[in-house]
Amino acid sequence: MTIPARRRHLGREILEDGVLRIPVLVDRQTGALLDGHHRLAALRSLGARAVPAALVNYSSPEVEVRPRRLDVPVSKGLVRVTAASGRLLPPKTTRHVLPIDLPEVDVPLRDLLSLPRERDGI
């Protein structure tokens, strides 16, 4: 589940900038989308056929998940089970902490609209 107003805002921002700056975060082993649900939804609404992704080893102790909301406890196990079920946690529930900052990719939107999809969903 995404917040429609947030998705629309990001879509307008990407369209105005003409680039996607930050990739989505994906577990290398399972392909689970860990962060960037709103970016992915915004790009899909713009007709993107590809989405830049930063792949991480979610099993690594260097990758942490922390709660953003007091009402929803989080853990890597919960994230994995939820992703495997096809469901989503409520928006803005998790904050992933990585050993490095995600690099800015600055991929032109026109390239994302014209690239063939490597894999359905990402």
CATH classification of 4-114 is 3.90.1530.10, yes or no?
yes
Nearest to 25 by CA among 87, 94, 89, 85: 94
Given a contact cutoff of 8 angstroms between Cβ atoms, the answer to whether 40 and 10 are in contact is no
Which pLDDT tens digits describe the chain residue by residue (122 residues)?
Answer: 788 999 999 999 999 999 999 999 999 999 999 999 999 999 999 999 999 999 999 999 999 999 998 888 999 999 999 998 988 888 889 999 999 888 899 999 999 997 555 544 43
The bridge status of strand 33-35 relative to strand 24-27 is antiparallel
What pTM was estimated for this model as a whole? 0.84
